[in-house]
Chains A and B, each alone.
Chain A
């Protein structure tokens, strides 16, 4: 393969699609950030189009380098992480649990 052109004007991804992806990923973008992200993701997707021409019919997807099987062990008691130590590392905890803001009821 030869050198790949890096600066390409592309509309492979729209600002609307980027905004949707950001929302799914729980990220909020300013207008400027949205414009920049759209431009950068488009550039990347242009580069990644090099695999479009490959005939991949019948190729087994490879999710992992080594064959993975479920790992089983005897069901015996073992030490686990200390609860107080784990909770001490959290932003907020109360009564032996993680404390979070309300999950429901504030939508309106």
Chain B
């Protein structure tokens, strides 16, 4: 973490912005205008946002500055411009999931994370683009067109939270929130060269997060550095009675331990990790192990035999849950309707017109996996494989405190590369999927560059609710990034 004396004149990190705004050094309005200027300059090339909330953000920044002027502390995220993935409900503000079927819908309530960001003094600057209903790994499956990678606009930002990753990478927001069902925060973070965290399942409330796969979905932050990710995660985590799967404990306690280092920490290398990582990514991972060993960590070999079956378990379980969750888009209660003479025809016409190709594919796959005669062979077996994976990880964590893997098998790929072959897109999630199945936390931290000078992310995995040791490892890697 930077000391106060070397804080830049115009702060860019969330921690620096909040420090400056709380101490009346910089106004929230100035901070916001700098970010809006960045948006004006490059959003046309990137398309990170579905909507930029210029008026709302200006009004909010003014409120923050007034609070500071009268001696009230606006909170730990005072004046920090934050972007929200457009699958988080914002009262009275369009929430589309980048789907035609929700076009025009204005939710009658705020997601809990939105309320908590507000209470922490953050300024929401806009809603970001995603793969429709968070189904995808490139943000190309958006009804409103793809988001492009700020490092190279011929390439994808990853997905499904590609807009949120790109918004931070491009300097449109100091932080953003995404959701991660199979890697949708960690993979785009890796491809855009920012920090991305999927917290322990139940650590952050899902109330107001439009459901994709309820037993896998989790909200988490994107930031420029590890300390900022801790700050944002602390602000949004903690029990919420509106989410029955919310863990009954207070906010995560991470920041205080960030600088503790990794001396004595057992860092696991998974010897039977599925193949598929490209040589540049594999080389950075090796260097990450070396860096942690230099910092005093003990590198241990562990096995997770069921790891490689995660993809299959995930792509049966997630579509099964999605087919159920997305049954609610029937043209009755929200968004889009195609009129027809009777309700059944109206459901059919609305859903056929409103959903994109990938969403339809997953709904059909999930419906099939759950249907009579196939339930035991597909969904039932997938749930047993899920248990196997959880048991194998628990055994690995007997021997290692954290595990390191690639976050994404490759650096950012070119637009259109994987759109014609759904299975090739699904393989992007190979290394991130297991932690959604088990509920354990995982994060991607930038660690040097790979082919074409594009960012590489290293993934750190930890047991449930052990975010603090995961973040300590990330902070150490951040201090030792290859130059």
Across the interface, which residues of B come within 8 angstroms of A59, CB to CB? 384, 387-388
- Count chain B residues whose beta carbon lies closer than 8 angstroms to a beta carbon of A: 74
- Are B316 and A102 within 8 A (Cβ)? no
User: Does B360 lie at the interface of the complex (its beta carbon under 8 Å from any beta carbon of A)?
Assistant: yes
- Which of A74-103 touch B at CB < 8 Å? 81-82, 85-86, 88-92, 98, 100-103
Across the interface, which residues of B come within 8 angstroms of A68, CB to CB? 244-245
- Which of B334-392 touch A at CB < 8 Å? 334-337, 339-349, 351-352, 355, 360-361, 363-365, 367-368, 371, 378, 380-388, 390
Question: A25 contacts which of B315, B364, B381 (Cβ < 8 Å)?
Answer: B364
- Are B422 and A40 within 8 A (Cβ)? yes
The CA of A65 and the CA of B202, in the complex, are separated in Å by: 9
The smallest beta-carbon distance between B178 and chain A, in angstroms, is 19
The smallest beta-carbon distance between B92 and chain A, in angstroms, is 8
Closest A residue to B389 by beta carbon equals A62
Closest B residue to A60 by beta carbon equals B387
- Are B245 and A17 within 8 A (Cβ)? no
- Are B367 and A25 within 8 A (Cβ)? yes
User: Does B479 lie at the interface of the complex (its beta carbon under 8 Å from any beta carbon of A)?
Assistant: no
The CA of A51 and the CA of B317, in the complex, are separated in Å by: 13
The CA of A63 and the CA of B368, in the complex, are separated in Å by: 18
User: Does B109 lie at the interface of the complex (its beta carbon under 8 Å from any beta carbon of A)?
Assistant: yes
The smallest beta-carbon distance between A25 and chain B, in angstroms, is 5
The CA of A49 and the CA of B352, in the complex, are separated in Å by: 29
User: Does B323 lie at the interface of the complex (its beta carbon under 8 Å from any beta carbon of A)?
Assistant: yes
- Are A27 and B360 within 8 A (Cβ)? yes
The smallest beta-carbon distance between B432 and chain A, in angstroms, is 15
User: Does B14 lie at the interface of the complex (its beta carbon under 8 Å from any beta carbon of A)?
Assistant: no
The smallest beta-carbon distance between B108 and chain A, in angstroms, is 4
Closest A residue to B337 by beta carbon equals A91
The CA of A62 and the CA of B314, in the complex, are separated in Å by: 12
- Are A13 and B368 within 8 A (Cβ)? yes
User: Does B9 lie at the interface of the complex (its beta carbon under 8 Å from any beta carbon of A)?
Assistant: no
Closest A residue to B339 by beta carbon equals A101
- Are B422 and A28 within 8 A (Cβ)? no
Contact flags (1/0) for B84-97 with A, using CB distance below 8 Å? 00000000000000
- Which of A29-73 touch B at CB < 8 Å? 37, 40-41, 43-44, 47-48, 50-51, 54, 56, 59-66, 68, 71, 73
- Are B312 and A51 within 8 A (Cβ)? yes
Contact flags (1/0) for A1-38 with B, using CB distance below 8 Å? 11100100000010001100110111110000000010
User: Does B251 lie at the interface of the complex (its beta carbon under 8 Å from any beta carbon of A)?
Assistant: no
Interface centre among B316, B330, B332, B368 (most CB of A within 10 A): B368
Given contacts A21-B368, A103-B342, A106-B342, contact A89 B106 (CB under 8 A): yes
- Are B364 and A27 within 8 A (Cβ)? yes
Across the interface, which residues of A come within 8 angstroms of B308, CB to CB? 1, 50
- Which of B182-230 touch A at CB < 8 Å? 201-202, 215
- Are A48 and B315 within 8 A (Cβ)? yes
The CA of A71 and the CA of B202, in the complex, are separated in Å by: 14
User: Does B70 lie at the interface of the complex (its beta carbon under 8 Å from any beta carbon of A)?
Assistant: no
User: Does B36 lie at the interface of the complex (its beta carbon under 8 Å from any beta carbon of A)?
Assistant: no
The CA of A1 and the CA of B315, in the complex, are separated in Å by: 18
Given contacts A1-B308, A48-B315, A85-B108, contact A54 B341 (CB under 8 A): no
The CA of A56 and the CA of B332, in the complex, are separated in Å by: 42
Closest B residue to A41 by beta carbon equals B365
- Which of B295-316 touch A at CB < 8 Å? 308-309, 311-313, 315-316
- Are B343 and A102 within 8 A (Cβ)? yes
Closest A residue to B421 by beta carbon equals A6
Q: A25-B323, A106-B341 are in contact. List 20 more A-B contacts (CB 8 A).
A: A3-B276, A18-B368, A26-B347, A37-B360, A40-B422, A41-B364, A51-B312, A54-B381, A59-B387, A62-B384, A65-B438, A65-B439, A66-B201, A68-B245, A86-B333, A89-B335, A91-B337, A101-B346, A102-B343, A103-B342
User: What would be 20 A-B contacts, judged by CB atoms less than 8 Å apart?
Assistant: A1-B275, A13-B368, A21-B368, A22-B364, A24-B367, A26-B344, A27-B348, A40-B361, A44-B426, A47-B311, A47-B423, A50-B309, A59-B384, A61-B380, A62-B390, A64-B245, A71-B244, A89-B334, A101-B341, A102-B342
Using a CB–CB distance below 8 Å, which chain B residues touch chain A?
A: 105-109, 201-202, 215, 241, 244-245, 247, 274-276, 308-309, 311-313, 315-316, 323, 330-337, 339-349, 351-352, 355, 360-361, 363-365, 367-368, 371, 378, 380-388, 390, 421-424, 426, 437-440, 464
Q: Which 8 A-B pairs have the closest CB atoms?
A: A65-B439, A61-B383, A91-B337, A1-B308, A62-B387, A85-B108, A59-B384, A56-B384
Using a CB–CB distance below 8 Å, which chain A residues touch chain B?
A: 1-3, 6, 13, 17-18, 21-22, 24-28, 37, 40-41, 43-44, 47-48, 50-51, 54, 56, 59-66, 68, 71, 73, 81-82, 85-86, 88-92, 98, 100-104, 106-107
